[in-house]
Structure 1
Amino acid sequence: MFEPPLALASLSGEADADWARAGADHAGAAFLGGIALDADSRAAAREMVRDRDRTEFLPEDPLAFVDRELAALEDVPIRPGFNVRSVTPGPVADAARICRDRGAVLEINAHCRQEELCAVGCGETLLRDSDRLAEYVARAAETGAVVGVKVRAEVPGVELPALAAELEAAGASFVHVDAMDTESVIAGIDDATDLFVVANNGVRDDETVREYVDYGADAVSVGRPSDDPVVLERVRAAVDRHQGPGLETPSR
Structure 2
Amino acid sequence: MHIEDHAFERFGLLINDRVVRTPVAVASMAGIVDAAYVLERASHIGLAFIGGYSIDDPTMNAAETIASAGDRKEFLYDDPVTGLTSQIRKLEGSGVITGINLRGSTPDSFCDLVRVLGDTVVYEIDAHCRQPAMVEAGCGEYYLRNVEKLLAVVRALKGTGVTVSVKIRAGIADDDRRLAGKLWEAGADILHVDLMDFGTAKLRQIRNSCPLMLIANNSINTFDRMKDMLSHGADIVSLARHSDMRTLAGLDAAITRYADEEGWYNAPKQLCRGGDIRSLTFCCMPVKECPLIPTLSRIGMPREDYIAMKTGAVKGTPLEDGKQTCFGSLSWCCKTSSPCMFRDMTLRQTGLTKKEYMRLKRELSDTIMSRVFHDVPADTSR
Asked if 1:91 corresponds to 2:103, the answer is: no
Label 1:16 to 1:98 Cα distance change in 2 as closer, same or farther (>3 A). Answer: farther
Report the residue type matching 1:209 in the other structure: M
Choose the corresponding residue for 1:188, options 194, 199, 205.
205
Indicate conservation of the 8 Å contact 2:215/2:234, yes or no: yes
Answering whether residue 255 of structure 2 is matched by residue 239 of structure 1, we say yes
The 1:169–1:99 alpha-carbon spacing in structure 2 relative to 1, beyond 3 Å, is farther
User: 1:1-252 to 2 correspondence within 5 Å?
Assistant: 1=15, 2-98=20-116, 100-101=118-119, 103-155=120-172, 157-183=173-199, 184-226=201-243, 228-243=244-259, 244=264, 246=266
Secondary structure of the equivalent of 1:80?
strand
5+ residue gaps, structure 2: 1-14, 268-361, 367-382
Larger of the two Rg values belongs to structure: 2
- 1:200-242 Cα offsets, whole Å, 9 max, x none, are 000101111011012110110011122x111111221233245
Deviation at 1:130, TM superposition (A): 1.0
Distance in 2 (CA, whole Å) between partners of 1:188 and 1:96 is 32
Q: Assess if the C-alpha contact under 8 Å between 1:99 and 1:106 holds in 2.
A: no
Cα distance in 1, alignment partners of residues 154 and 253 from structure 2: 33
CA contact (8 A) 2:102 2:126 kept: yes
Instruction: Read off the aligned partner of 1:219 and give its amino acid letter.
Output: I
Letter of the 1:112 counterpart: C
Structure 2: distance between partners of 1:99 and 1:27: 23
Alpha-carbon distance in 1 for matches of 2:174, 2:86: 36
Q: TM-score normalized by structure 1?
A: 0.92
5+ residue gaps, structure 1:
none
1:158 counterpart SS class = coil
Deviation of 1:97 after TM superposition, in Å, equals 4.1
Report the Cα distance in structure 2 between the residues aligned to 1:161 and 1:42, rounded to whole angstroms: 31
Cα deviation, 1:36-84, whole Å, max 9, x if unaligned, reads 0110111111111011432111111102211211111112111000000
- 1:124-148 deviation per Cα after TM superposition (whole angstroms, max 9, x unaligned): 1101111100010111111111001
CA RMSD between the two structures: 1.7
Q: 2:168 and 2:253 mapped to 1: Cα distance?
A: 26
**Counterpart residue type for residue 94 of structure 1:** D
User: What is the identity percentage for the equivalent residue pairs of Structure 1 and Structure 2?
Assistant: 35
- Distance in 1, Cα, partners of 2:204 & 2:68: 39
1:116 positional shift: 1.0
Distance 1:241 1:116 in 2: 44
In structure 2, distance between residues paired with 1:6 and 1:147:
19
Letter in 2 for 1:152: R
Contact 2:35 2:91 in 1 (8 A): yes
8 Å contact 1:148–1:172 — kept in the other structure?
A: yes
In 2, are the aligned partners of 1:213 and 1:242 still within 8 Å (CA)? no
Larger CA deviation: 86-95 vs 35-44? 86-95
Q: Which has the higher contact order (CA 8 A, sep 6+)?
A: 1
